[in-house]
A = this chain, B = another copy of it.
Amino acid sequence: MNKLLIVGTVAFDAIETPFGKTDKTLGGAATYIGLSAAYFNVNSAIVSVVGDDFPAEYLELFKSRNIDVSGIEIVQGEKTFFWSGKYRNDLNVRDTLETQLNVLADFSPKVSENFKDADVVMLGNLHPLVQKNVLDQLSRKPKLVVLDTMNYWMNHTPDELKEVLQRVDVITINDEEARQLSGEYSLVKAAEKIHEMGPKYVVIKKGENGALLFSGKKVFFAPALPLKEVFDPTGAGDTFAGGFTGYLTQSSNVSFRNMKNAVIYGSNLASFCVEKFGTERMECLKQEEVQERLQQFRMLTQFDIELAE
């Protein structure tokens, strides 16, 4: 089995949506990426940091999904990263209520020996120097390096971000971030500018409006599955990234054509994530459900027009 190395936060979240609220629950980018990628036949590992308040059962959950947790450092006497947020009525805007960096403030990632030769590396949203630090520890060039980031790093560490971007094959960001990073309103032009910064592939996530994959002149689009109910969008972007990288790690084929499939799988898995609070839906997801939904994506997007009418 191929190896997927995931770097990102493992955290406590407290979430409030118009449909209810959670107490402190399992969250963090690496958590969602890992649970999503676990749908595929891959050896994955999470590199992260938590405090001694982090429940052993959560680590067991990862292990039960064939996720190596030896790279999750547990800092004694410190607390796990905590985020709480509240979504507005239409679920498209969320306000951060509280952020406690805790152990994340001094996070120095340590990649375990067994994953220094990972096939695919997924750099979750973190300080660009932490992302770079992970790449520096690798023993060989991975087949694919995927990076997620956000506007915070564009504002506060633009030079460090640009440096790490030069070493990245795929960037996944949302539409507003793509506009900010490139200074272009048109997403086509934004992707062109971002290509020039390093990433050969640019994935622009538009939430309920789907995701675009750009590479040179090529472009592919995957819609979000129209759902009757969306309970909690938390983790949808990371679940997308987990499906995207999990599929590419399993299939070991990083052609544009296969990357289309990865975008569909990312959208597929993300469509489950939002159906319940936090990681709840991803924890009970079955293979057959994903395959059935793949068929729904096919019905949703595939058409059959003869070219010459």
Q: List chain A positions with a Cβ less than 8 A from chain B.
A: 89-90, 185-189, 206, 209-210, 212, 218-221, 223, 226-230, 250-251, 257, 260-261, 264-265, 291, 294-295, 299-305, 307-309
Could you tell me if B301 and A221 are in contact, using CB atoms closer than 8 angstroms?
yes
CA distance A210 to B230 in the complex (A): 20
Write out the residue numbers on chain B whose beta carbons fall within 8 Å of the beta carbon of A308: 291
Q: Contacts A223-B210, A261-B304 given: A228-B186 contact, CB under 8 Å?
A: yes
> Shortest CB–CB separation between residue A267 and chain B, in angstroms?
11
**Residues of chain B contacted by A90 (CB below 8 angstroms):** 185
Selected contact of A186 from candidates B223, B229, B294, CB within 8 Å: B229
| Contact yes or no, B220 A300, CB < 8 A | yes
Minimum CB distance partner of A300 in chain B: B221
CB of B188 within 8 A of CB of A212, answer no
Q: List 17 A-B contacts (CB under 8 A).
A: A89-B185, A186-B230, A188-B226, A188-B227, A206-B209, A210-B210, A219-B300, A220-B299, A221-B223, A221-B300, A223-B223, A257-B304, A260-B303, A264-B305, A265-B305, A295-B307, A301-B301
Given contacts A186-B228, A228-B186, A294-B305, contact A218 B299 (CB under 8 A): yes
